[in-house]
Amino acid sequence: MPATAKKPATMPAQPTFPPVMTSDPFPFTDAPHEAQDAGNEADREPFTPDTADKADWLIGKIADARQRAARVRENAEAIARQHEAEADGLLWQFGAALQEFARKETDRSKRRSVRLLNGQIGFRTKPAAFTVADDVAALVWVRENLPAVLRLDKRAFADVLAVTEEGNAVHGETGERLPFVAVMPAEDVFFVK
């Protein structure tokens, strides 16, 4: 007969901080709040950042977690670059021979690819591509013949705008009012660094 898990009798009203899944083996030992009875979790008050010391401790924990995440990303990117370099080296060394093998196999089987245990090799038709050789001539032609194709680069456009004291958008150099631009007022936004 399979064992069944027991359901807890009561759920806590509010989760405690930090969460259960933490890398810190003693999550409350460096917390600047009241001393808590480590032996009786039911009597423990949930952590609340309601003082400068508690808020500072919490911000330190957040900053530390972000730094660990950044280090993990750096290491993962470095490892990925090493693997990509290894793959590029193998393709440089053996790519022509592998392509020749694929050519023979696809000619023999009349298929465009060969399935192997670790992947697939083969050939696919690359569609024709276009590149603009003369940007100015292309822009003149598109403005006259295909105006719907033009797209607005909002970031570059925002770089030349300015806001007047009245809250109107104007061209930064000429001062020309731009009624088609809506100005979003400045506001305070919460952040944690």
Please provide the DSSP assignment of 53-72 as one string.
HHHHHHHHHHHHHHHHHHHH
Q: What is the DSSP letter of 112?
A: S
Model's pTM, two decimal places?
A: 0.48
Do the domain assignments include residue 158? yes
Residue 22 Cα to chain centre, angstroms? 22
- Mean pLDDT in residue range 142-156: 77
Two structure tokens written together for 7? 């359901």
Of 122, 154, 184, the last residue of a domain is 122
Do the domain assignments include residue 60? yes
Greatest alpha-carbon pair distance for the chain in Å reads: 83
Do the domain assignments include residue 21? no
Do the domain assignments include residue 160? yes
- Whether 113 and 161 share a structural domain: no
Rounded-to-integer distance, Cα 162 and Cα 156, Å? 13
pLDDT of residue 80: 96
- Whether 103 and 52 share a structural domain: yes
Q: Which domain holds residue 151?
A: 135-171
Do the domain assignments include residue 7? no
- Whether 60 and 115 share a structural domain: yes
- Whether 81 and 140 share a structural domain: no
Task: Count the neighbouring beta carbons within 10 Å of the beta carbon of residue 161.
Answer: 13
Two structure tokens written together for 43? 């009597």
Do the domain assignments include residue 74? yes
- Whether 118 and 139 share a structural domain: no
User: pLDDT tens, 16-73?
Assistant: 444 444 455 445 455 554 444 455 666 778 999 999 999 999 999 999 999 999 999 9
Do the domain assignments include residue 79? yes
- Whether 62 and 102 share a structural domain: yes
For residue 15, is pLDDT > 50? no
Count of the separate structural domains present in the chain: 2
